[in-house]
Structure 1
Amino acid sequence: MEKINFHNKRFRAISNTDNGEVDGQTFFHYRQGGDVIWATYHGPSIRMGTLTGVIKNDGTLEFNYQHVNLQHEIMTGFCKSTPFTDESGTLHLKEEWQWTSGDLSKGTSELIEMVEKDNLNPIF
């Protein structure tokens, strides 16, 4: 897999399982230093979130995440993301995650890279 530089890439969610708190208006701002990644995120159900992890040799991302939801709960979890590009060349992250708080359930989600023409570009 070709190495991807995630520094300053912005993503938004396009799908999530029902037990997740991320939705189509959740925005992520990724940063990278070497093989370390981190991001901030927020959305209608998430007041503020962060993630920290690594890029594995096979190009997948593994990270822990935490956020504060609208109920003022601190929610935590673990995620493995597999990057891929669609036919138009847009970067996606296919995610398999699990809560490490709450009900400990698992889920899947997908993020898509935001491009400059997206009017949904959030302020971070």
Structure 2
Amino acid sequence: MAPTLDGRIFAPRARPDQGEVDASTRFRYREADGVVWADYAGGDILRGHLVGTRDGDTLDFRYVQLNRAGVTSAGHCVTRISELPDGRLLLDETWEWESRPGQGTSAVEELADGAPDPNGR
């Protein structure tokens, strides 16, 4: 099983089709006793939250977010955790909107220690 997500910061590798997060979005994960949650912001996202569970190297969570246009959206995501050669974590996500049409996949990778956060968080 991959190490805990608790306290780790992640950023998307790219903006997915039909998605709103991009490389400037930052996810701050927390984890305890099989429960995962994160706050995220940056790029087109003013504020986002996710909450769910972890079973081994698989996350299952719901997310809700507010974009800069003032629109709220919500969805569901199943994520597979793996470890990169340098020890950082990679999250391969399969997601779908529940509040509007659309679905996709994305990859979110852990930022290296000391990596700058363009959102000042």
TM-score (norm. length: structure 2): 0.92
Match of 1:107 in 2: 104
Taking structure 1 as reference, are residues 32 and 10 closer, same or farther at Cα in structure 2, changes over 3 Å only?
same
Correspondence 1:1-124 to 2 at 5 A: 2-56=1-55, 58-103=56-101, 105-120=102-117, 122-124=119-121
What letter corresponds to residue 110 of structure 1 in structure 2? A
- TM-fit CA distance, 1:24: 0.3
Aligned length: 121
TM-score (norm. length: structure 1): 0.90
Q: Is the 8 A contact 2:13 2:109 kept in 1?
A: yes
Return the alpha-carbon distance in structure 2 between the equivalents of residues 110 and 42 of structure 1. Answer: 16
| 1:55-83 CA-partner distances (Å, limit 9, x unpaired) | 02x42000000000111111000001101
Q: Is the 8 A contact 1:30 1:39 kept in 2?
A: yes
Gaps of 5+ in 2: none
Taking structure 1 as reference, are residues 5 and 21 closer, same or farther at Cα in structure 2, changes over 3 Å only?
same
Gaps of 5+ in 1: none
- TM-fit CA distance, 1:15: 2.6
